[in-house]
Amino acid sequence: MKFSALIALSVATAVAQAACPQKCPSVIDYVCGQNSQGIQHTFVNECAMTLKNCQISHEWTLISRGYCAGDLSKRGLFDGEILFPQPGCAQYCPDVLHPVCAKNKDGKEVTFANSCHLTTAVCEYPSMNWTQISSRTCSGDLN
């Protein structure tokens, strides 16, 4: 009996690991996930949320497509402002994931989806003094 339970557990573990992606596509399709503690987090796409579920013990569940409510202001990007494009700033950035990490005047690090999104933030919010510090995801980000 113990042997068959051990085999069943091994098979279940192997199936779960097989369902885990090794890499996610570089496509931006933001989703909002929530863990068992009620914490919400915006992931760059559903695959990134699945990958995070495979990497850590938190169980993230998809609750909506797009950003989580209030996520932009929590990350220090726009401080809750309604976004209106400024003249001369990029109106469109490609939905391609090539993360860049930037720091604002307060020292807060934020990952932008790509350099175009960072350039747009620099243009839209010059008082934030965004400066790129690396060509990768910021070390403190989950996704």
16-68: pLDDT as tens digits:
455 787 777 767 777 888 988 888 888 878 888 888 888 877 788 999 988 78
Whether residue 26 is found in the same domain as residue 53: yes
What's the whole-model pTM score?
0.46
Last residue of a domain, one of 6, 40, 65: 65
CATH number of the domain to which 108 belongs: 3.30.60.30
pLDDT tops 90 at residue 133: yes
Q: How many domains does the chain have?
A: 2
Section 68-83 average pLDDT:
48
For residue 57, give its domain range: 14-65
Q: Are residues 24 and 47 in the same domain?
A: yes
Structural domain includes residue 7: no
> Is 3 part of any domain?
no
Cα separation, 68 vs 52, in Å, equals 17
Residues 53 and 102 in one domain: no
